[in-house]
């Protein structure tokens, strides 16, 4: 049990398909997010991240498969379940004629669990002018206000779709600390879509990569870093143009020097390179952004003409 009466995962997606006309945006997605986990959702533009999030929130209906949120089918979320979810879209829809204070008062009235002291703390942290109308606020200020509205009722599930793109560095720091606070007791769950991989490395324990409408991988970040390595190979004689290493994402060979990004650079593979080519092999670790870029660059290279 997780303290909220739900057994199992906060989010569970099985075989989810979503099409728009003849275009399949989500293609048999499987994903589970246990309670208390902070998971980052990565992918290029058009990979299906926002579509998946909208299916989880009941804003889009899957064509096939299922999406369950907090134990309930996402398409049939009732007010009781919606009140346990916080959501920040890429562009928040706010009432421009209301002041910041009036906006918070209006939205908080829909949430029985609204924590007024916490809401005030968030307004203070992000330096939001309570008496100012929402319309003239900057894009960044509106994004901060959207975060206050999503966090003020201390949601059990927080879903964030590119929430920090318009935030200044100080606000981003406060935001990341707030995400950590949300999940600190093991009860709050966060699904966090962003292009800023350094933010994910600070707060997320797991990452799911969407590519061409599918989950390419879903792993702990530390496991990913153990899997993907860059090999720097230096041999006394010219190396073959294709080293034929299993799990190769990208390979650059010039004479006796090679740079290879690989999934699964085990000790046996490295020892084999050293023996076969009398080579020196250095192993570089990659951060999350480098892994993300290598995966997509490697896929692009593999799809290029002549490959």
Tokens coding 269: 């593979």
Using one digit for the tens of pLDDT, what is the confidence trace for 90-139? 888 899 999 999 999 999 999 999 999 999 999 998 889 999 999 999 98
Residue 251 Cα distances to 115, 199, 230, 293, 302, angstroms = 54, 29, 10, 14, 11
How far is Cα 264 from Cα 42, in angstroms, rounded to an integer?
Answer: 21
Model confidence at 1: pLDDT above 60:
no
Q: Is the pLDDT of residue 186 over 80?
A: no
pLDDT value, residue 117: 94
pLDDT of residue 190: 92
Query: pLDDT-based confidence at 195, cuts 50/70/90?
Result: confident
Confidence of residue 301 (pLDDT cuts 50, 70, 90): very low
The CA distance from 282 to 145, in Å, is 48
Architecture of domain 224-303: 2-Layer Sandwich (3.30)
Q: pLDDT band at residue 169, thresholds of 50, 70 and 90?
A: confident
Q: DSSP state, 239? A: P
Place of tokens 């909220």: 4
Is this structure's pTM higher than 0.85?
no
Beta-ladder partners of 31: 13
In the chain, ranges of CATH 3.40.50.300 domains: 9-212
Strands (E), 136-286: 157-161, 189-193, 206-211, 214-220, 228-234, 248-254, 257-263, 280-285
Could you tell me which residue, 168 or 126, shows the higher pLDDT? 126
Dump pLDDT digits (tens) for 240-279: 898 888 889 889 999 999 999 999 888 888 899 999 999 9
Question: Where in the chain is CATH 3.30.70?
Answer: 224-303
The pLDDT score that the predictor gives to residue 293 is 86
Least confident of 66-80, 111-125, 290-304: 290-304
Mean pLDDT of all residues in the chain?
Answer: 87
Mean pLDDT, residues 175-196 taken together: 82
Write the CATH number of the domain with boundaries 9-212: 3.40.50.300
In this prediction, residue 299 has a pLDDT band, given cuts at 50, 70 and 90, of low
pLDDT per residue over 35-56, tens digit each?
988 999 988 888 889 999 999 9
- Return the structure tokens found at 103: 């906006």
- Using pLDDT thresholds of 50, 70 and 90, give the confidence band for residue 231: very high
Indicate whether 5 pLDDT > 60. Answer: no
Give the pLDDT band (50/70/90) at residue 4.
Answer: very low
Percentage of residues in the chain having pLDDT higher than 70? 93
The mean per-residue pLDDT over the stretch 6-27 comes to 88
The pLDDT of residue 2 is above 60 = no
CB 88 within 8 A of CB 150: yes
Exposure string over 277-291, b if 16+ CB within 10 A, otherwise e: bebebeeeebebebb
- Strand-strand pairing, 9-20 and 64-69: antiparallel
**Amino acid 203: pLDDT:** 85
């Amino acid at each position: 049990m997780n303290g909220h009466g739900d057994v199992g995962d906060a989010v569970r997606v099985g075989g989810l398909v979503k099409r728009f006309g003849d275009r399949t945006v989500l293609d048999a997605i499987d994903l589970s997010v246990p309670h208390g986990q902070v998971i980052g959702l990565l992918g290029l533009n058009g990979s299906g991240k926002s579509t998946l999030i909208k299916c989880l929130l009941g804003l889009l209906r899957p064509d096939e498969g299922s999406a369950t949120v907090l134990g309930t089918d996402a398409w049939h979320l009732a007010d009781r379940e919606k009140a346990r979810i916080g959501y920040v879209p890429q562009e928040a829809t706010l009432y421009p004629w209301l002041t910041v204070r009036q906006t918070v008062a209006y939205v908080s009235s829909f949430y029985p669990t609204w924590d007024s002291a916490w809401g005030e703390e968030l307004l203070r942290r992000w330096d939001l002018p309570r008496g100012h109308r929402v319309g003239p606020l900057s894009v960044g200020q509106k994004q901060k206000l959207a975060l206050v509205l999503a966090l003020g009722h201390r949601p059990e599930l927080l879903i964030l779709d590119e929430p920090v793109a318009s935030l200044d560095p100080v606000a981003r720091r406060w935001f990341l600390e707030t995400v950590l606070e949300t999940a600190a007791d093991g009860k709050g769950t966060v699904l966090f879509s962003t292009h800023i991989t350094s933010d994910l490395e600070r707060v997320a324990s797991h990452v799911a990569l969407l590519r061409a409408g599918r989950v390419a991988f879903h792993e702990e970040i530390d496991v990913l870093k153990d899997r993907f390595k860059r090999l720097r190979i230096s041999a006394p004689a010219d190396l073959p143009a294709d080293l034929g290493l299993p799990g190769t994402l990208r390979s650059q060979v010039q004479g006796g020097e090679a740079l290879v990004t690989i999934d699964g650079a085990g000790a046996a593979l490295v020892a084999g390179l050293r023996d076969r080519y009398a080579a020196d092999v250095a192993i570089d670790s990659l951060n999350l952004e480098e892994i993300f870029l290598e995966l997509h660059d490697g896929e692009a290279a593999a799809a290029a003409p002549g490959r």
